[in-house]
Amino acid sequence: MPIAPYDKYCQMLDNAYKNKFAYPAINVTSEITANAALKAFADLNSDGIIQVSTGGGKFASGLAVGDMVEGAISIAEHVHRVAKHYKINVALHTDHCPPKNVDDFMIPLIEESERRVANGELPLFQSHMLDASGLPIEENMDLSVPVFERMAKIGQIIEVEAGVVGGEEDGAAGSEDTPDDKLYTTPEDMVYVYKRLGEVKNGRYMFAATFGNVHGAYKPGVVKLDPSILRKGQEAIKKEFGNDAYFWLVFHGGSGSEKEKIEETLNYGVIKMNVDTDTQYAFSRAVADHMFKNYDDVMKIDGEVGDKKKGYDPRVWLKKGEQAMAERVKEAIVDLHAEGKSLG
C-alpha cells in the first residue's frame, strides 16, 4: 500500500504506545538495503520505519555526486514506488540531522515535501529528526520549535533528542568519551521539552530521551543502560501536565542492546527503536561468506575466467546480503513485539 499518510502514521505510533511494542526503524543507504527492510516488514506483517542519515544520503547519490539531499530523495522516491506492492504501512524518516546540516539537508527535504503537498501528494518524508542534543536544552528547543512549526503545517512529525547518545553515527552523534552525566536525560529536561514542543499547534512529535545509549556495538563497562529514566520522565510530565501527557519515546543505539532492557523500555513508552549496526553487519557478513566460499568463481586467477553466474555478478552476492539483512530486521521485529501488528 502507499506510504503511510499523517493520520495513519499517528495511528501506528499510538497503537505501539497503547499496546507496548515498538517499530524497528531501519537505517538504509541504497535501494537494496531499503528492499531488505520492506521484505522483513511484509514477511512478519509488521508496519515499520525506513530512515536515511546525512551519510546514507551522500552515499546513495554516488561517488561522483556525493549529495546527501539528492541521495535521500532518491531512496525515498524508490520506497514510495515499491511500498505500493506491499500490504503493510511504511513511514520514511531522516535520522540524526545535526544543527550544522539543518539548512543544507533537513530544510531542502522539507521544501521538497512542501512542493509535493502543494501538488496534492504526500510529503516525501513523514518525519525528520533534528538532533540538537549537543546544545544546551534551551538552544536545542529554540532551534527545533520553528522547524517543527513548519513541518506540522504539511503533516510531518519531528523527532528531537535531549541528552547525548554515546558512540558515533555518521559523525552526527556523541563520542565514546561523552561524560556519563550527559548520557542520561533528566526529568527536568523532559518536562521542558514537553512544554516547548507542546506550543506547536496540531503538532505530533517523537522524543529520543537518553538513558545510557551508545551507537554501534557496546563495549563492556562503557556505560550502563538505565531504562527507569524513561519511566521517571513520563511520570514527571504527567505530574506537571496531567495524566493525559505522554511522550512517544525513541530508543537510539539499539544495536547490541540486551533484550531484557529492550523489553523494559516498551513499558515506558518506547515506540521506535533505531537499528543500523546489526543490519550492516548482517549484510556484510553474508557478502563476505559468499566471497570466501566462492573465491575461485569470483576471482580470475591463473588465466581462469571465474564464474559470472555463481561468483562475481553483483546481483548474486547482493541478493545474499539483502536476504541476510532482512533476517536481522525480522529479529528486531520479534524483539520489539511488532510481529503481526500491522494496521493494514
| Farthest-apart Cα atoms in the chain, separation | 76
- Tell me, what amino acid is at 149? E
Which amino acid is residue 325, in one-letter code?
M
| Burial class (CB within 10 angstroms; exposed 0-12, middle 13-18, buried 19+) of 172 | buried
Look at strands 23-27 and 48-53 and give their pairing: parallel
Q: Which three cell numbers stand for residue 311?
A: 561468483
Three cell numbers, residue 339? 510481529
Indicate which residue of 47, 67, 95, 276 is catalytic.
95
Picking from 45, 244, 99, 27, the residue whose alpha carbon sits closest to that of residue 36 is 27
Grid cell listed for 297: 568463481
Residue located via cell numbers 537510539: 252
In angstroms, the first-to-last Cα distance of the chain is 8
Sort residue 225 into left (φ over 0), alpha (ψ -120 to 50) or beta: beta
Residue 36's identity, in one-letter code, is A
Whose cell is 556505560? That residue is 223
Residue 307 is among the residues annotated as catalytic for this protein: no
CB 121 within 8 A of CB 32: no
Q: Which amino acid is residue 93, in one-letter code? A: H
Catalytic residue positions? 95
